[in-house]
Structure 1
C-alpha cells in the first residue's frame, strides 16, 4: 500500500512539474514574440537608426540625373533627394541603375527610394507609394528636323519606331498609338537622339524639360522638338515601397518646406532655367484611353 501511495505521489509531482515547465515555456514564447514584434521596425525607423537612405537614379538623364564635367552626380532629381535627406537628418547614397530596374529594386527592399523623373500614375500607385509632386511637366517628342519624321499628330505614330525604356509611360504612349518601341537599357541621350537623326528610329517621346536639354546638347543632329505637339500633362514624385506611410509623411513634410521657402524653385531653375516645380501654363492635350 505504501509503495502504491509513493508511486502516485511521484506521478503527481511529475505532472505538476511538467505543467510548470509548459507554463514557463509558454511565457517564454510570449516574451519572445513580444520582443520580436517590438524589434520590427518600419522603413523610416530603420533609416533613422542607420542614419542613411539609399536612392536609385540613372545618372544618364540630362538635367534630372547625370554626371557633370567633374564626374559628379547631379541633376534636379538628385539634388531634390539630397536636400530631402539633409532635412530629414540622414545621409543619402545613390545607386545607379536603369529605369526598368528601379521599381523592382524598391519592391525587393534593395533601395529605399527612386528619384529619376518618375511619373505618378494610378497604376503605379496600386503597387508603390509616391511623395507629393516636386515636378510638373508634359510630354512632347523629338523628330527629324528635315521631315518631322512624317509625324504631324499623335495618330501618325502608327508604324513608326520610337526609342524608349521598356517600362516608361512614354513607351506606353508610343505603343498606344501603334508605334514599335526600340529599347536601349540605361543609355544616355546621345544613343536615342542619334538614331532619330540618322533614321534608325523615328521619334523619342519624353518629358518636355528633359528632352529640351537633350536636343540642345547635340546641335549637329538632324533633330528638333516637335513644334505643335504637347500632350499628356505629368506629375513626378519620389517612389517608395507601398505602406511605408510614416516615411512618406516625413518626406512630404520636408517637400512642403522646400516649396514654401523657395528651395524647389531654386533647384528647378538651376537645372531647367524654368520653374518646373510649378504646373506649366501651356495648353496640353489629354490622351484618352491610356491605361497608366
Structure 2
C-alpha cells in the first residue's frame, strides 16, 4: 500500500500530505511543518485519509493490527494465568508435602499375575511382595518411595505375549493417609475416590512400554524380576492424560479428568508442559 503524497486532514493541524511512513511511524507535512505520528493508530480518531481506495486498504490494515494486538494480549494473559497457576501449585504442594521431599520417580507400576487381577481391580490394593534374600528374607517389601503424590499402575501380560505387549489394566492413587514406610504388611491401599479401571478394549490401546524406559537398557523391553518398580512422575501424567482421552462414558471421563488434575497438583506438574510419550516402544 503506497500512501506517499496522499492527502490527509488532521483534527488539529489541518490538511497535509504524507511524506514518509513505515510499519510503526508516519510523517506528514502540514504547510511548512512536518509531524510524526504512530502508524496506523493515528488514523480513525485524529487523522482522515482523503483517497477512498487507500482508506479502504488502510481500514483492513488497522483491523489486522488490532487482531494482532488482541492475540498478543491474549498470549500475555495466558502466560500470566500459567505463572499464577504454577505459583498456586507450588503453594498447595508445599502445604501438602511440607514434611516430604518429592521424588521424581515416586510412582509404582505393578505386575498383576492372573490370579491377582480380580482382587487388584475390585479391592484396589496390591501386595508389594516379600524380600527374597538377606536377614529380612520373607518379610513384606515396603515400597518406601510411595507417598500422597504416588499412583499405582496395574499392568499385565499373558504368558504367551512378548513383554512389549504388556498392557495397562487400571490405575489408582495411594490412600490419602498412606506412605510406603507405613506399609508394614506390604499392602498398598488406594485412595477413596481416584481409581480408574480400564475395559478390555481400552486396555488393548494402553501399552505400558509406550511410556516406560529402562534406564540401563533404554532400547530394550524387559521385566526380569520383581513384582513392581518405580517410574517417572511425568510418565504417569502422560498415561493419565491418555486415559482421559480414551474414556467415552461422561462420568468415567469426568472422574479421569479429576484424577489427572489431582495427580498433577500433587506432583507439581503443569498440564501444558507434559511432553509426548517417548517410551521404548516408540523407539522401535
Q: Which has the higher contact order (CA 8 A, sep 6+)?
A: 1
Q: TM-score, normalised by structure 2?
A: 0.29
Q: TM-score, normalised by structure 1?
A: 0.28
Task: Identify, as 1 or 2, the structure richer in helix.
Answer: 1
